[in-house]
Every structure is written in C-alpha cells, then in structure tokens.
Structure 1
Amino acid sequence: MISGEKRPSPWVFQPWPVGPLSAAPTGPKSIGLFLKPSTRENFFCIYRISICKYKRFVVEIKHASGRSRIFFVESSALLRLAIPVWIGQLAFSAAGFVDTLMSGRVGAVDLAGVAMGASTWVPVLFGLNGLLLAVSPMVAQLVGAGRKSEIVDVVHHGLLLAFIMGIIIGLLLQCMQPVLRFMGAPADVIAVTLLYLKGLGLGVPAMAGYLVFKSFSEAMGDTRPQMLISIVGLFCNVALNFLFIYGGFGIPAMGGAGCGWASGLTFWIMFLAMGIYLGRARFYRSLGWLRRPRFRGRLLKDILRLGGPIGLTLFMEASIFGCITLFIGGLGAIAVAGHQVAMNISGLIYTIPLSLATAVTVRVGQAVGRKSIRDAMATAWSGMGLAFLIAGITLTCTLVFRYWLVALYTPDGAVQAMAAGLLVLGALYQLSDAVMTASLGALRGFKDTAVPMRLTFVAYWGVAMPLGYMLGMTDIFLPRMGAAGFWISLITGLTLAACFLLLRLLRVQKKPL
C-alpha cells in the first residue's frame, strides 16, 4: 500500500468499488448515484438496486406463462387482501396485551381476575366469530355470480343473528359466578372477574355486529376499513382503560375490572364506526343495504348451517389449547409460565396464516360464484403455497430469535429456558398449521364446513389431546415429558388435520359447482 494512502474502513460495506451506479452489475444508469464510504449510503444504494431488481422480476413474471405466473398473480391478490386483515388482527390482539399490562400494574389480584375473565371470553369470541364468518363466503359467492341484489339480505340476517347471539352471550357472562366458584378461584379474584365480565358483556352485541360488517367488507374485497378501525379501537381501548381503571369524570375507579368496561365501550365505538363507513360509502350504499330488512327463515338457516361448523371448529381449536394449559398447570409455575410465553408468541405468529385464510376464502368464494373451478383451485393452491413459504420464514425467525423473544416477556432464566425449548417445537408445527389454516379457508370458500369440522375434531380431540396426556403426564410410551409432550402432540394433531383437509380439498374440487 502506498505510504500516506487512506485505508478504507473494514466496517463499511461496499458491494463493489466506489463509483457511479452504472458501473454496478444491475440498476439503470439514470439513477447516477455514487457510493460513499458510509454505511447509510451503501444501504440506500442496495435498497435502490433491490427495487430495480424487483421491478425487473415483476416484468419478467408478467410476460411468463404457466404456474409461476399464476402463483405470482394469485399471491399478489391474496396479499393485498390479507395484509390489512393481519394488521387489524394484530391491533385487536394488542388490546388484550394492553389489558394484561395495565391490570398487572394495579395488583396481582386484578391481573388474575382479568386473566380469568379473558380466558372465559376468548373461546366464546372464537366461536361467535366462526358462526358469523359464514357471511364472508356467502357474500363472496354472490359477488362472483353477479347477484349483488341478494347481498343485502345476507347482511341483514347476519346482523339479526349477531344481535341475538350477542345478547344471549352477554347475559350468560353476567351469570358466571357459580362456574368461577366451582373452579376454586379465590373470592377476591372472582369479584374482579365478575365486574370485568359485566362490562364486557354489555359490548358483546356490538362486537357481534362489527364481525358481520367486517365479513361483509372483506367479502367485497375491501379490507382496509377494518384495519383502520381496529387501530383506532386499540387507541380508544388504552384511553378508556386509564379512565375506568383509575377513575375520572364522575366514573369511579374500578381497578383491573375496568378493562372489561373499556373493552365493552370500545366494541360499540368500532361497531358504530364501521356502520357509519358502510352507510356513507357510495359503493356500499349502491347495494341498498340500508333499506328495510325482509325476513327469510331459509336464509337464517343457511347462515347457521354454514357458520355453526366454523364456530365449533374455532372453539375446539381454542379450547384444546386451554385444556392443555390446565394440564400443564399441575407441572409447576415454571412450566406454566414458559408454556404461556411460548403460546403467546405462537399466537401472534398464527395471525399471519389466519389472515391469509380470510383472503383465500374471499377469492375462492368469488371464483365459485363465477362457476370457475380452475380459478378457485388456483387460488387455493397458491394460498397454501404462499402460507407454506411464509411459515418457512417465520419458522427460521422463531428458531434464530427465540431467546431474544422470550426475554421480552420475562427476566427469569428458568422460564426463558423453558419457553425457548417449547418454541423449537412451536416452530415445527408452523408449517402444518399454515397448510391446515389455508386449506380451511379454501374449503370455506366452497361452503364446505361440516366435514372439515369433523376432521379437525378427530385430529384435535381424538389424537392430539390423548397423545398429549400420555406423553406429558404418564410414562406409557416414554418417560414423562411434561409440557414438551403436549407440544409434540400439537405437532401431530395439526399435521394430521392438514393431511385430512388437503384430501378433503382434493375431493371437493371434483364436485360440480
């Protein structure tokens, strides 16, 4: 090296010698960007080149033919629908996290009361959501068939069912005291839980109505409104939590139980906001959904026949995780805490295939309405391929960053080790979970829900639950494995369910539309 020549820093990444971008292997000459010995400049250059590469890739795909082009086109359409749904689900999930965080700052009793209330409410919410999800494939098929005049009746009967079920569930939540006493909860925790459920129950009819509006807009291919309203609902929930937990403006301080009242009021805000949007948007007004409802008993039965199995499927899925948590509760505090942390992280990851399944349902339903089995199956297989691809990415990230993720939840080393070990197993079932969820979404688009419900029941409760008990609590096959045994059973059950549903989809595609 010549004396006096400045040696370049080894910490500055330079993909090629410093010079104009035209000297780079790719990228248009018109950019005229010169690299400088700065990390920020180099990363900016790489970003621009990546954009150029992506645009060139898009052009090549558009002029390509065959399966690669179909997969790209369908995947792009699915992602446009799924990403807003996913963001909305994250915002909704974040509201539960905020409730836990804010009630925990009040005290241990308040945190326990809110946790018990949420454990009661979440499986019910899953079942209610599944029941009302029937609106989505029904509307999607009508859109595909061009029978838009019939969409209004589906929405009206969906709202009728939503309010009936919302009122019934809201009243049942007010009568949970005998159940909580039977579970052996302390009296002070029961008091917090009952007050929490009392406020939450007042908002259940609004949440049910919001779910119908959400399914309606998603089936029309309009997923952004629910995303924005979910984000607004999250901020409203935080503000109302402060108001009801600590009191103010004439409202007494309720402690952790105030989270339930804040959630109930937030449900009404979200319902009214979605209703105002649908009522003011010209596109939805043109459908005439604000006209006087016409009751048709057959249509209500169709929603129940289609949505009932969906609700039971989601309820079974939520309840098996709850039962596993109860069994693990007898293995000690560290096992329970590690399981809960790993389950929370896995639940956040699960929102990705769940959102994609919503998009698959809409696209498949519209194709079925057009009587195009080819388009329907192209969407179904593309959705499963995309879900599998994304699951591979999330699996890798989970394995690589698992210790960092669990450290965000707890500083306890023993809990971190337990949770990180369970996340290895959780990462493995992400592939099966993605395929299973996408398959369910495709089958819903075909309005095929009863048989998938039976198949998932066999996989969950006929295989996974007994196997988990034998591996985790007994030494019938192997020495008792504890929490890991239950997670291995989940991998087995989800893989079996994915295989069942794939075979069912292959059979459904052969039926005439």
Structure 2
Amino acid sequence: MYETETKKGKMKMLLKIVFPILVTQVAMFLVTFFDIYMTARYGTDDLAGVSIGSSFWVPVYIGLAGILMSITPIVAQLMGAKKKDQVKDMVQQGIYLALLLAVAVFFFFLFGVDWLLGFMELEPTVYEVASEYIFAMSLGLIPLFVYSALRSYIDALGSTRISMFISLISAPINILFNYLLIFGNFGFPELGGIGAGYASAITYWLVLFIVVWIVRTKKPFASFAIFKGWAKPAFSKIAEISRIGIPIGISIFAETSIFSAVTLMMSTYGTITIAAHQIAINFTSLLYMLPLSISMGATILVGFEVGAKRFHDAKQYSWLSVGAAIGFSFVSACILFFMREQIAALYSDDPAVITLAVQFLVFAALFQLSDAIQAPVQGALRGYKDVNITFIMALISYWVIGLPVGYLLARYTDFEAFGFWIGLIAGLTAGAITLSIRLNMIQKKIAAQ
C-alpha cells in the first residue's frame, strides 16, 4: 500500500485491494456454497439437515473468527505508523488466541449440539444429518481459526492477492472431496450431507499447510519471521486483540445469527420450507461477498491512513467504499429478481421447493441496498478501531428490531414464513442507517480535534 492524493487514485487503490479480497471471499464461501448445492442434488432431507447444521455452525464460527479480524486493523495501523518490529509479536499472540477459540468451539459442539437440536421438531433423518455434519466440520476448526489469523495478517500488509491465490486452491479441493464423499464415487463411502462436512474439514487442513508454507518462505512475509522465536502467550496483547476483536465478532455474530435463527424458526413449517429458504439464503450469501469484500478493503485502507494520521484520506476511503457497494447492489438485486426461477432450478428438481424458493428470492432482492450500505460502513469503523458502539447498534438492529418484527409478521399475519424475510429487511435497513450516522459522528469528532 502507498499514499494516494486524488479520489481517482484512491478508487484505483480500493479496487486493487478489494478485487483479490472478493475472489478470496467467493472462493471461501464456495466451500459452504457447494456443501449446500451438492447436498441439494443428493436429496431434500440431506439438504434440510445440512441447512440446520450450517445454521448452528456458521454464526458460531464466523462470530468467533471475527475476533481474529482485529489483527487486520492492528497490523495495518502498525505498518502505517512505521512500527514493523511489533507486527510479529501481535500475529503470534493472535495465533495463540486462534488455538484457544478453536478448542473451545470444538468442545461446545461436541457436547452441546445434540442438546440444542433436541429443542427442534426435526425428522429423524434430518436430525442425524445435522448432528453428524456439525461434528465433521468441527474436525477442521483448528486449521480454520489459525488460517483466519494468518489471513488477517496477510491482508493487513496489502497482500490480498496471496489470500486470493490460497482460496482459489481451496474451492476445487472442496468440490473434489464433496464429489467423493457425498455421492460415494471411486470407492469412497456414500455419506450424503454428512460427507460435505468431512470434505470441508479436509479442505481446511490442506489450506492451512499451504498458507503456513507461504508465510514462512515468500516475500514480504518471510522477513517478519512469524514462525521463529515464539514469544510466550502475553495476556496484555491477547487482551488487546480481544478488546478490538470481541465487538467485531459480536457484531458479525449478530448479523449472521439472525439468518440462522430465521432458518431454525422455519423448521416449524416443514422440510420443503427449510430447503427453499436455504436456497435463497445460500445464493444471497454468495452475492453478499461483494459488499463484504469492500468492507474488508475499507478496514485495511482506513486503518492504514489512520495509522499515518491522514484522517482526510481515511474519510474519503470510507465513503468511496460505500458508494462502490451501493452501485454493485443494484446489479445484485437485478440478478436475484429477474433470474430467480433459474437460480432456484440450479439447486433442486423438486417443483414444490423451486416454487417456494422463487418467492423467497424476491424478498432477498429487496435487502441488497441495505446490505451494501451497512457492510462497508462497518468496515470503515473497524479501520478507526471504533467497534464497541458498532456492535451495540448491530445487536439492536438485528435482534431488537429485525427478528421480533419477522416473528410477529410470521406468527400473526398471513405472511407466515415470508414474514421472517420482511423482518430481515427491517433489521438490515435499521443497521445501515444507524451505522452510517455513527461513522459520520466519528469523522466529525476527528475533524474537530
């Protein structure tokens, strides 16, 4: 990264940073995407089981992995302030934290998932697939969390193309093992949806080996000697990472878990509704990778400029990111609305599932604008290390506004299952408005000083 002086130069820098992140996010998401897609081709019951399993897995993993995202603004600000010598220690402490989180989540799923699933009225086959899928995925927790820490470090140096390269490798690996373990090809056991979990775990371990080799041997990472001269775990530095990371993780958890909560509540409407809802969520999540990537790019660039005390440049990067995301959101909305029948047919041959998924996709198109605003605004706020108020706003928007509105509409009106999607739109819109106000307040405060 380097200093830019014009808006045109900043837009070029933003695109240079964001494009590899986008490819990376899409490639990483394709692991879950193909779990859902290939399981859908296997059978509706397995799709429902993987959908329920993902609803527990995704928010817990993403929320806790979000804590490790604090490494990005920390390292970006250290580099902007010319404090390169402090980077190694912070990354090592981040790896310690990653291992601790991975072990904690593993035991949570090992002993708690059957208890949680017991509260749901699931068909026996769906219950079994969901339980075994979560256990299989849990075998990849350690590599997944350590990779998250290392990737945050790589991205903070502006080397987002390296993350892109690693993730591009991961997608075909996952597809291969899905093909072997879901369908039982070439003599492998036919595990159905459960096989998707084992395929993902294998992929996570292989990806970790690749990223460790790159960080140890390739420029500019080798000069930091991350894996040499290990410092002892330092509570003060782990606490610093956690102090910034926990609000980030909670705000991400608040957003992702509301989608999972809706999926779990959909279980009362039956297997067909769960499957159709998951199709809409799965494809919408793929499109969300664009505003999410812009958000991550904003964190890197805003953090770099704040570290160098170029606050005017940080402000410009913030709003350029929002503008770019809004522009792309109209394209996403058009894809969802005008191609909804073709999208639904990609996932399932079941006419009932397709008909219902097409209707859910209309609602998905409606919240593209709100998603496009709130994601990069959150990214910019993380670049300023302003995370505490942000996560409170996220909790209120999604859980105090979004989910209750959805529940009331689903329970007491004729919208039924669609009421939950209207609630999602209300929550995302509230988040976009409140977070934008917060970003504007932070920038005015800095300008006044």
* TM-score normalised by structure 1 residue count: 0.79
SS in structure 1 at match of 2:200: helix
Give the superposition deviation at 1:247.
6.6
Rg larger in structure: 1
Equivalence map 1:11-160=2 (5 Å): 70-103=6-39, 110-160=46-96
Q: Distance in 2 between matches of 1:95 and 1:158?
A: 24
Query: For the Cα contact (< 8 Å) 1:313–1:457, is it kept in 2?
Result: yes
Give the superposition deviation at 1:135.
0.6
Give the superposition deviation at 1:180.
2.6
Q: From 126, 133, 155, give the equivalent of 1:218.
A: 155
Q: From 142, 152, 160, give the equivalent of 1:205.
A: 142
Give the superposition deviation at 1:158.
0.6
Q: Distance in 2 between matches of 1:105 and 1:343?
A: 17
Size of the aligned set, in residue pairs, is 441
1:240-279, Cα deviation, whole Å (9 max, x unpaired): 3345456799976655423322221211111110110011
Q: Distance in 2 between matches of 1:299 and 1:79?
A: 32
* Residue 62 of structure 1: aligned partner: none
Q: Distance in 2 between matches of 1:104 and 1:344?
A: 11
Q: From 394, 399, 402, give the equivalent of 2:340.
A: 402
1:58-108, Cα deviation, whole Å (9 max, x unpaired): xxxxxxxxxxx9443222211221122222222222222332344456655
Equivalence map 1:261-276=2 (5 Å): 261-276=198-213
SS in structure 2 at match of 1:174: helix
Structure 1 residues 184 and 473: CA distance shift in structure 2, 3 A = closer
Query: For the Cα contact (< 8 Å) 2:277–2:360, is it kept in 1?
Result: yes
Give the superposition deviation at 1:207.
0.4
Equivalence map 1:161-200=2 (5 Å): 161-175=97-111, 176-200=113-137
Give the superposition deviation at 1:361.
0.4
* Residue 257 of structure 1: aligned partner: 194
- Normalized per residue, the structure richer in helix is 2
Q: Distance in 2 between matches of 1:336 and 1:249?
A: 31
Answer yes or no: is 1:229 the counterpart of 2:159.
no
SS in structure 1 at match of 2:159: coil
Query: For the Cα contact (< 8 Å) 2:47–2:275, is it kept in 1?
Result: no
1:447-467, Cα deviation, whole Å (9 max, x unpaired): 111101001111111111222
* Residue 370 of structure 2: aligned partner: 432
Give the superposition deviation at 1:322.
1.8
Structure 1 residues 449 and 401: CA distance shift in structure 2, 3 A = same
Structure 1 residues 282 and 88: CA distance shift in structure 2, 3 A = closer
Structure 1 residues 416 and 442: CA distance shift in structure 2, 3 A = same
* Residue 392 of structure 1: aligned partner: 330
1:218-256, Cα deviation, whole Å (9 max, x unpaired): 111111122222221222223333454567999766554
1:171-223, Cα deviation, whole Å (9 max, x unpaired): 22222233333434455544444443333222201100000111111111111
Structure 1 residues 346 and 358: CA distance shift in structure 2, 3 A = same
Q: From 364, 374, 377, give the equivalent of 2:315.
A: 377
1:333-384, Cα deviation, whole Å (9 max, x unpaired): 6654443332222211111100110000000000010011101001001111
* Residue 34 of structure 1: aligned partner: none
Q: Distance in 2 between matches of 1:482 and 1:159?
A: 45
Structure 1 residues 506 and 199: CA distance shift in structure 2, 3 A = same
Give the superposition deviation at 1:414.
5.5
Give the superposition deviation at 1:313.
1.1
1:283-332, Cα deviation, whole Å (9 max, x unpaired): 11222323312243211111111111111111111121122223344345
* TM-score normalised by structure 2 residue count: 0.90
Structure 1 residues 419 and 439: CA distance shift in structure 2, 3 A = same
Q: Distance in 1 between matches of 2:58 and 2:219?
A: 35
* Residue 29 of structure 1: aligned partner: none
Specify every segment of 5 or more residues in structure 2 that has no aligned partner in the other structure, as ranges: none
Structure 1 residues 71 and 121: CA distance shift in structure 2, 3 A = same
* Residue 473 of structure 1: aligned partner: 411
CA RMSD of aligned residues (A): 2.6
Give the superposition deviation at 1:510.
3.1
Task: Between 297-306 and 394-403, report the one with greater CA deviation.
Answer: 394-403
Q: Distance in 1 between matches of 2:110 and 2:421?
A: 34
Q: Distance in 2 between matches of 1:471 and 1:192?
A: 30
Identity of aligned residues (%): 35
Q: From 478, 482, 495, give the equivalent of 2:429.
A: 495
Q: Distance in 2 between matches of 1:486 and 1:375?
A: 40
Q: Distance in 2 between matches of 1:324 and 1:87?
A: 28
In structure 2, give the amino acid aligned to 1:118.
S
Query: For the Cα contact (< 8 Å) 1:328–1:482, is it kept in 2?
Result: no
Q: From 435, 439, 445, give the equivalent of 1:505.
A: 439
Answer yes or no: is 1:293 the counterpart of 2:227.
no
Query: For the Cα contact (< 8 Å) 1:278–1:284, is it kept in 2?
Result: yes
